């Protein structure tokens, strides 16, 4: 099961976050900081799957954006890795070359509706 979905830039700023189970606001901030630090500190030669506390992190980098998905121990890492890729392809078709600015703009637009 997916626990959360994050889009983060190279500076470690969260651009989009979605949680699929309740996490208190102050714990979200701490969790995101730790998750971002773990993913951004890894080299491109290292695996995109990380065991972290009681769940796993699956991440992919696309240009200046990192997409990180937190999953439970029973979820298939490769399926989530492909899900991330498909998500980016959809964004790319919608925005015709997705960028950090597109993500920030679309998030603020959906909050206005």
Question: Mean pLDDT, consecutive 10-residue segments, the chain of 113 residues?
Answer: 93 91 92 91 90 92 89 95 90 71 51 37
* Whole-number Å distance between alpha carbons of 25 and 111: 18
pLDDT of 44 = 84
> Residues near 75 by Cβ (< 8 Å), separated by ≥ 6?
1, 2, 56
In this prediction the pTM is 0.82
> C-alpha 52: how far from its chain's center?
14
Identify the structural domains of the chain with CATH numbers, from first to last: 2-100 (3.30.450.60)
Please compute, for residue 46, the number of CA atoms within 13 A of its CA located in the half-sphere on the CB side: 11
Average model confidence (pLDDT) for the chain?
Answer: 85
pLDDT of 28 = 93
């Amino acid at each position: 099961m997916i626990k959360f979905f994050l889009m983060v830039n190279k500076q470690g700023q969260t651009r989009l976050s979605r949680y699929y189970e309740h996490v208190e606001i102050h714990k979200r901030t701490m969790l995101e900081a730790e998750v971002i630090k773990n993913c951004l500190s890894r080299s491109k030669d290292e695996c995109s799957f990380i065991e972290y506390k009681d769940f796993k992190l699956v991440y992919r980098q696309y240009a200046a954006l990192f997409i990180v998905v937190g999953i439970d121990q029973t979820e298939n890492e490769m399926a989530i890795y492909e899900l991330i890729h498909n998500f980016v392809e959809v964004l790319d078709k919608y925005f015709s070359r997705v960028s950090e600015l597109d993500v920030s703009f679309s998030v603020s637009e959906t909050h206005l509706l």
